[in-house]
Structure 1
């Protein structure tokens, strides 16, 4: 956690010092241009063109263009995320330090999960404490995997590390459980398959959730610019460090669409394990019910994305609702309901 804290401050430094001069130029470029003729007796009213032969000048009112991150990056005006511009040496330095610290923290994190497993000679996700530490570890691994694949996703580093710190803090203070053996029902190879898939799916769903949240903010910012609004300097400084709304939306959709089949198999694997352990494949246990509700919510989101009229903010709202179902399935069900899964406790 201490190394994650150092990475957290490095990411903040990257956002504070990176791309500031380029952001200022972009903010100026986003202002609507007007060219009224001096001494003109009248100006064209928006929506009414000036007739040929009439006296007076005309005002050229153009719809303000949103300089998206993807287009600007090709022109060399803006980086694709904080500290990604070639000339933004200071911001990029902090960014590389932040990523290096994240890698170091991840190694310590993975070592902690491994030693927990060695101490009990089983999979290290038998209770909420172990699940939380493994969950955040996989989320960081997914982020670093995208970086290794040369994907420009450093913009997700700050919210990711913030959430990991909150998750680990909750795990070691509220959810901590001493190393112990599991009940006989959990002594099965399905523990490695079913629970590990649930952890991986949840961690990747989380990355899609962060991208969806940032998409809503960036989309509102771009809409305001298109309508001729003038966001404050702080909004410009923050929003222009993110990719375009379209890029964020696509990133979230691709993650959710790729993970959904694995979440489906997670539920199927749990049903098969339940048949072996309890003699029935489905018993409407609260954990089973909310896993299915989460599946339905993500299915609705993917269906909405494939249906005309349900793209953008409407579909993003469904994605947030789906991830909220996942979180409730993890925290709410364990604390508020009993059932066959209550042995996991905290």
Structure 2
């Protein structure tokens, strides 16, 4: 009996392999279209992982990666025991977590609002206005923030009607996180809503018509029809967002840094940039970056596990 079962399994596996090969042969053009993306991913994402070896070595450019002495976890220990580790780690975590919590619902709300606009021309114009900030350079965004929030800028001009002394927002370490997060939401929320708008376009209009006949209000239709449609997409995007909590870019934080807001604006990516590229301590900065990546992977796995438990088995993988 066991022999017969194993034979059936082998036959089934063989058929699956044959059908897969047949499918690939018949649709080879699809795989050719996919090839550039795979090559770029391998070259720019996987090949550079080779350089992470220097995180465990006393790297010397003269000796090269393999010729440098192996020192194990010394660089990681140095970072974890450094006096500013706690401040840098918490700054990175707070910026990312607050940004995720405050920014995640905004694209969903925008998509739900856009879905209620029936006139196509008005909807397109609103979408254009919402998407435009995403195409503005980070450098320009930071320049705009410095101008708008300067003591003589338009924000302080308005506030001067209520207060006597102008506020130096960019020199206030307590204001840095709010400035960073709010400007980030303004810049990216419209573009992030595209995927939700596309998902809502697949909702059957007859469901809304039936709900209208039954006397359902607008909020009830959104709650019972639109949000369940978005739920799988929301789960996937939340997992990806949570998995990238520590993968915050250094450009904006670095450009918004001033001597006065360093206590809250110094994050792991800016620290890696300063230690690695400016100070030339490549091995140590590589170790810090690798530590950051490991935290990201752990968070991704953990959040995916939690979401699958809460979302009836639906997760990223």
Say whether the fold is shared (TM-score over 0.5).
no
Q: Specify which structure has the bigger relative contact order, considering alpha-carbon pairs within 8 angstroms and separated by 6 or more residues.
A: 2
In which range does the TM-score fall when normalised by the shorter chain? under 0.3
TM-score by length of 2: 0.27
TM-score by length of 1: 0.25
